[in-house]
Amino acid sequence: MSVPTALLAEDKPVNISPGVMSVQVETNAGPVEISRVQDNQNRIDGDWARTSRPCPNFCVQPMIPAAGVTPIGEQEVIAMLQDPAAVVVDSRVSKWYYNGTIPGAAHIPYNEVVDRLDELGCEIDFDGWICDNAKPVALFCNGPWCGQSPTAIRAMVNAGYPADKIYYYRGGMQVWRILGLTVIEPKDG
């Protein structure tokens, strides 16, 4: 006996977590609501649906790109977006950032992060950076195969940023999109 498709594809609410349909975060363009796509049949396409990319450059990244760094998931990213003391950083190059990012994320490309540690609570010194007041910061890039945020994280640690203040969202934009979470196209470029 086969089950009718209509019974398999029930249209039920798609929450972020039990009882949490959406959250609001501040962005440079004003408040944005983060939720999941409510179409139970939604699928991703294009670059985000690609599963196999040549290594190098697109090698599977480790869960912990530097000693002392904490890996996190979507729930923790959303919590950090709502925490005024924390910063979520899209560390991808501009081409990727302007094609869609997580609402509320600051854009600091991976190859600029060491020059911009002042935006994350550090102070410039003659010998480099003093990071006594470093903010908790989460970095992400395109996904588990993207090396931009791991490269940025290692550079930050080498420049003196405390590893225990760094969080790595390895899933990045690919997993964020797979889960149907809100993506915005920044207009500040």
Give the model confidence (pLDDT) of 134-167 as tens digits: 999 999 999 999 999 999 999 999 999 999 999 9
In this predicted structure, what is the pLDDT of residue 78? 98
CA distances from 182 to 41, 123, 139 (A): 16, 34, 17
Query: How much is the average pLDDT of 116-144?
Result: 96
Whether residue 28 is predicted with pLDDT greater than 50 in this model: the reply is yes
CA distances from 144 to 53, 64, 65, 71, 116 (A): 11, 11, 11, 12, 25
Q: Are strands 137-140 and 166-169 parallel, antiparallel or unpaired?
A: parallel
Grade residue 3 by pLDDT with cuts at 50, 70 and 90.
very low
In this predicted structure, what is the pLDDT of residue 9? 53
Give the three-class secondary structure for 164.
helix
- Residue at 167: amino acid letter: Y
Whether residue 7 is predicted with pLDDT greater than 80 in this model: the reply is no
List the structure tokens of 33.
């609501």
% of residues, the chain, pLDDT over 90:
80
Question: How far is it, in rounded angstroms, from Cα 125 to Cα 145?
Answer: 35
Interior angle at CA 10, CA 8 and CA 16, nearest 5: 120
Mean model confidence pLDDT for the chain: 93
Domain map (residue ranges) of the chain: 60-189
In this predicted structure, what is the pLDDT of residue 180? 96
Pick the CATH number of 60-189 from 1.10.150.530, 3.40.50.460, 3.30.70.20, 3.40.250.10: 3.40.250.10
